[in-house]
């Protein structure tokens, strides 16, 4: 029996390693898997549709569905998830010690629509009353000037975003032109130990743990998507792909549980694994729609509240019936 050949592009991590290394036989499919940095991948896929199956920004995907752009079908395979309290940075001289002080301030962001910013703005709004319209947003490159949005913004007049091309956000944070920077990676000044830049949350791990205990939100950054035309011609590939990515994830978690410090070059990883398991007794990295309902619904609500979507996109729109039937539960 012939197998359907598909190109697959995703980031390299422990959850995708088994697929990228071809350790898994995928039912009915011959996958040509490529490891590509997500920033480059998102640009190539959203603009050029280069791959059959590709990792995608959750925020971008919600915006596309809201606009009626249905080129891709989302799979509830969440290859990147990050708690984001540790990615809010402030200028030490500004005297900002409480997140509520950012109301009315100026905040930098590499891309307004990026999923890291989506969740950070969401927690600032929900917990501290700092809503998107109350902030002046500055968008640009964090370490290199001139970064642009990967998708065209269609924001309401209440959301003010200034695009900066001749400065970096890191320089503006150090100089005090920005009250804060929200981002997906620590800025160069912070990594270099510049005393003028510090994290807003003094204990981000405790803040994230408390937030999860109250909300059950484990922020999803990326999901896998499939070209819709392929799903319409071969609906069975949904189940095959979901099963394959789930098996790859399971292999990573099994190795972490069995090998601990031998599996990852990180001291005390065994103790961190024990703490994480206590926090997530149903599984460290759940896929499927229902186990992630709280997080997905929060992302859709944030997208609307922050002007990225004109309405709250439903889970049924994000994951059509053929996907929900194959991957409702993990």
Question: Which strand (E) or helix (H) includes residue 293?
Answer: helix 293-305
How far apart CA 294 and CA 305 sit, in angstroms, is 16
Pairing of strands 160-163, 88-91: unpaired
- 281: phi then psi, degrees, rounded to nearest 5: -65, -20
Q: Nearest to residue 31, comparing CAs of 6, 55, 12? A: 6
Per-residue pLDDT tens over the stretch 83-109 = 999 999 999 999 999 999 999 999 999
How far apart CA 315 and CA 321 sit, in angstroms, is 10
Domain span(s) for CATH 3.40.190.10 in the chain: 4-81+219-327, 85-215
288 CB-near residues (< 8 Å, 6+ apart): 76, 327, 328, 329, 330
Q: 85-215 has which fold?
A: D-Maltodextrin-Binding Protein; domain 2 (3.40.190)
How far apart CA 16 and CA 64 sit, in angstroms, is 25
Is 132 strand, coil or helix? helix
Per-residue pLDDT tens over the stretch 44-82 = 999 999 999 999 999 999 999 999 999 999 999 999 999
How far apart CA 78 and CA 118 sit, in angstroms, is 16
Region of poorest pLDDT, from 118-132, 206-220, 242-256, 264-278 = 264-278
- Domain 4-81+219-327: CATH superfamily, name plus number: Periplasmic binding protein-like II (3.40.190.10)
pLDDT score of 328: 66
Per-residue pLDDT tens over the stretch 200-254 = 999 999 999 999 999 999 999 999 999 999 999 999 999 999 999 999 999 999 9
């Amino acid at each position: 029996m012939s197998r359907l050949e598909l190109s697959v592009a995703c980031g390299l991590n422990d959850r995708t390693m088994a697929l990228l290394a071809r350790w898994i036989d995928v039912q009915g499919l011959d996958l040509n898997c490529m490891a590509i940095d997500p920033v480059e991948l998102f640009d190539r896929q959203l603009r050029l549709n280069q791959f059959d199956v590709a990792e995608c920004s959750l925020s971008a995907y919600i915006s596309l569905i809201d606009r009626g752009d249905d080129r891709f079908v989302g799979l509830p395979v969440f290859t990147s998830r990050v708690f984001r309290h540790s990615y809010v940075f402030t200028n030490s001289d500004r005297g900002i010690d409480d997140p509520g002080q950012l109301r009315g301030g100026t905040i930098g962001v590499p891309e307004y629509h990026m999923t890291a910013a989506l969740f950070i703005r969401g927690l600032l709004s929900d917990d501290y009353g700092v809503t998107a319209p109350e902030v002046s947003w500055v968008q640009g490159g964090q370490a290199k000037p001139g970064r642009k949005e990967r998708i065209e913004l269609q924001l309401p007049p209440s959301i003010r975003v200034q695009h900066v091309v001749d400065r970096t956000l890191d320089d503006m944070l150090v100089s005090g032109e920005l009250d804060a920077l929200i981002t997906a990676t620590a800025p160069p000044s912070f990594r270099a130990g510049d005393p003028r830049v510090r994290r807003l949350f003094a204990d981000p791990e405790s803040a994230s743990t408390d937030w999860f205990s109250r909300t059950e939100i484990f922020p999803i950054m990326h999901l896998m998507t499939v070209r819709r035309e392929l799903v319409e011609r071969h609906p069975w590939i949904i189940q095959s792909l979901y099963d394959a990515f789930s098996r790859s994830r399971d292999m990573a978690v099994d190795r972490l549980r069995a090998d601990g410090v031998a599996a990852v070059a990180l001291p005390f990883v065994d103790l961190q694994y024990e703490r994480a398991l206590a926090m997530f007794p149903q599984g460290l990295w759940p896929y499927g729609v229902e186990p992630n309902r709280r997080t997905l619904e929060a992302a859709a609500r944030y997208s609307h509240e922050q002007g990225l979507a004109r309405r709250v996109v439903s889970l049924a729109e994000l994951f059509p019936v053929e996907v929900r039937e194959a991957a409702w539960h993990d």
